[in-house]
Structure 1
Amino acid sequence: MTDYGHDLLFGTFVTPAAQTPQHVLELAVTADRAGLDLVTFQDHPYQSTFLDTWTLLTYVAARTERVHVSGNVLSLPLRPPAVLARSAASLDVLTGGRLELGIGAGAFWDGIARMGGRRLTPAQAVVALREAITIIREVWDVEAGGAVSFEGRYYRLDGARRGPRPAHDIPIWVGAYKPAMLALTGAVADGWLPTMEYLPNGVDSLPELNARIDDAAQAAGREPAAVRRLVNFMKGRFSPSSHGLLDGPPSQWVEQLADLALTHGISAFILGGDDRTMTERYAAEVAPAVRELVAGERSRSGA
C-alpha cells in the first residue's frame, strides 16, 4: 500500500479542436464553474486540426476564475525551455498562481521535424528534458541573482536574465513511461503524469512504475512523496452496472479512485471525453465523495 499523502486533485483533459473552439471553451468554463481543480490540454503543434495549446491556455485562463490550467503535456522539442519558463511564469503571475507545467520529452518525431524541431533518439530526448528542467528552474529563481549561463548537450544559455518570478511554486509534471524517463521523473520532477490507457498493464503496472520513480528519488536524495502521481483517463462512462475501470455508476467510480489514491498513491485524476454532462457529474457526484472517503481512511490509519 502506497499513499504519498498529497491533497487530491480532479480535472479534465480537453481536446483542443480547432473546428469547435467554442465547445472547447465551454468545457473549460464548465470545469471551472463545477469546482474542478484542473483543465488540461494536449500539445501537438504539428497537428493542424488543433488549436495552439499555449494560446489556448492563456485564453482559457482569462475566461475562468479559479481552475488551474496545464499542458498535458507540452512538447519540449518545439518549445525552447528558457522561453517556456518566461511564458509559464508570466501566465502564473497574470492568473494569480493558476498555471501548472506538464512537459514531455517529445513524441511523433516526424511531425516535430516537419515543424523545424530537432529529431532526437529516446536517449537523447531524456537528456534534453533534464537540461530543460534545469534551465526552467534557473530562469524562475530570481532570488539567486545574476544571469543564467548553461552549457548543455542540447541547450545553451549565455547570460540570460532571470525572471519573472512565478506567483506560486509551479510544479513540473513529466509524462513518462519508459525506465529512463521514470528515473528522470524521480530524480528531478515534481510529478508523474501518464495516461492509464497507455500503461502496459493498466492499474497492474502502477506498483512497478511507482517503484522505479521511488528508487530514483531516493538515489537523488529525495523523498518519494516529493513526486506527485497524476493519471489521465481517456475512457470513462457513467452506466447503471459495472463494466470495468471508470465504467459504471458513480459509486463505483468513487471506490476505484479512492483505491488508486490509497493503494497506488495517485492523487490527481484527469478525465477525458469532452462531454459537458460527464464533467458536471464528475465534479458533483464523484470528486467530493472520493475526497471524503480518502480523508476518512487516512484519518483511521493515522496518515
Structure 2
Amino acid sequence: MSGKGDPDADQSGADQSGVDSGPVAIPLLGSWVAVSALSRDTTTIRLGHLVNAVGYRPPALLGRMAATLDVISGGRLEFGIGAGWLAPEYASYGYSFPKPSERIAQLAEAVQLIRRMWTDPAPSFQGEYFRIENAYCDPPPLQKPAPSVWIGGEGDKILEVAARHADGFNSRWWPPERFARRIPELAEIRREAGLDPDLFRPSVMLMLIPERNPADAEAEWKNFTVVPDSGVIAGAPEECAARLEEYVKAGVRRILVTIPDVDKKPHRLQLAGEEILPALRGL
C-alpha cells in the first residue's frame, strides 16, 4: 500500500509515497524537486511520480534525472511514466499534444531508451521519435539491473505497451472485477513477447477514507464528485481492509491510496498504517 506525498508515510508502514507529476491547475509543488526533498526526509519508503507524461520532458533527460534520484534516495525510486492525456495541461505550458497513436508510440520508445541509459555505459538508441548517441548517464541507478518502470493508463494500446516494456501498470479507480478480466489478457501478451507474466505487477490508485464511524466516512465520500464510486473505499478500518483484499485476490500487486485531509485528520493515516495495512500483509 502506498501513502501519497507525505513524509509521515515513512512512519506509517506504507511501502511507497507518490507525487503527482504535471502542470496541474492547483497549488502543487513541482514533482521532481518535491520527491528529491522527500528522499532526504525519509529513509525507507519508496518514492515515485504519478506519472511522468512522456511529452513533458525529453526521455534522455528524464532517464538521467531518474538515475540521479535513485542514487540520492539510496535506491528507492519507482519510475512512473505515461503517454499523457489532458490536452489543456500541454497547451498551458506550450507543449505539443500529438494524436493518441503517436503519444503511445513515443511512450514505447521512451521506456526502451530510458532503460538503455540505465544499463548501458555508452547507450545509443535510434527510434522514430527519439534518438541518443553515447548518452552519458553516470552515476547510473543504484538498483540493479534497473529501477522498476510503471506505466500509467487504461486503454488497450497503453496496457499492451506496459506488458511488453514495463514491470507493471497503474490504473485509477478500477474495480477488482476489471482487473480480474484484464490481468490474464496482459499475461498472454507477456508470454507472446517471451516475458514472464509472474514478474508483471498490476497496480491501482484509489481514494481511501478510513473512519471509526463509517457514517463519517460515507458523508465525506459523497462530496467527491470527480472520483467515481469504484475509486473510493470508505468506512471502518475492517471494511476498508476487506475491500482492498478483493483487489489482492484479483491479482493486483500494488495499491496506491490518496487519504484526504490527513493534515487535519491525522488519525486516518494512523488507521491505515496500524489496522488496514497489517490486515493485508502476507496476502
TM-score computed with the length of structure 2 as normaliser: 0.86
In structure 1, what is the equivalent of residue 159 of structure 2? Answer: 182
Judge conservation of contact 1:46–1:115 (CA < 8 Å) in 2: no
In structure 2, what is the equivalent of residue 95 of structure 1? Answer: 73
Tell me the alpha carbon deviations over residues 142-183 of structure 1, each in whole angstroms, 9 at most, x when there is no partner. 4xx4x2222222212133124322111310001120000111
Structure 1: any 5+ residue segments left out of the alignment?
1-9, 15-27, 295-303
In structure 2, what is the equivalent of residue 298 of structure 1? Answer: none
Judge conservation of contact 1:53–1:71 (CA < 8 Å) in 2: yes
Distance in 1 separating the partners of 2:25 and 2:132: 29
In structure 2, what is the equivalent of residue 211 of structure 1? Answer: 184
Distance in 2 separating the partners of 1:232 and 1:62: 25
After the TM superposition, which residues 1-303 of structure 1 pair with which residues of structure 2 at under 5 Å, given as runs?
10-14=1-5, 28-45=6-23, 47=25, 49-142=27-120, 145=121, 147-168=122-143, 169-196=146-173, 199=174, 202-241=175-214, 246-262=233-249, 264-274=250-260, 275=262, 276-292=266-282, 294=283
Judging changes above 3 Å, is the alpha-carbon distance between structure 1 residues 268 and 120 closer, same or farther for their aligned structure 2 residues? same
- Residue 219 of structure 1 deviates from its aligned partner by 1.5
- Residue 78 of structure 1 deviates from its aligned partner by 0.6
- Residue 39 of structure 1 deviates from its aligned partner by 0.8
Distance in 1 separating the partners of 2:243 and 2:26: 37
- Residue 63 of structure 1 deviates from its aligned partner by 1.2
- Residue 76 of structure 1 deviates from its aligned partner by 1.7
Distance in 1 separating the partners of 2:182 and 2:53: 22
In structure 2, what is the equivalent of residue 297 of structure 1? Answer: none
Partner amino acid, structure 2, of 1:280: Q
Judge conservation of contact 1:258–1:290 (CA < 8 Å) in 2: yes
Query: Which structure shows the bigger proportion of residues in helix conformation?
Result: 1
In structure 1, what is the equivalent of residue 223 of structure 2? Answer: none
Structure 1 outlier segments of 4+, above 4 Å: 241-245
In structure 2, what is the equivalent of residue 3 of structure 1? Answer: none
Judge conservation of contact 2:171–2:204 (CA < 8 Å) in 1: yes
Judge conservation of contact 1:97–1:167 (CA < 8 Å) in 2: yes
* 238-247 or 162-171, larger mean C-alpha shift: 238-247
- Residue 208 of structure 1 deviates from its aligned partner by 2.5
- Residue 209 of structure 1 deviates from its aligned partner by 2.2
Judge conservation of contact 1:232–1:269 (CA < 8 Å) in 2: yes
TM-score computed with the length of structure 1 as normaliser: 0.81
Pairwise CA RMSD of aligned residues?
2.0
Structure 2: any 5+ residue segments left out of the alignment?
219-228
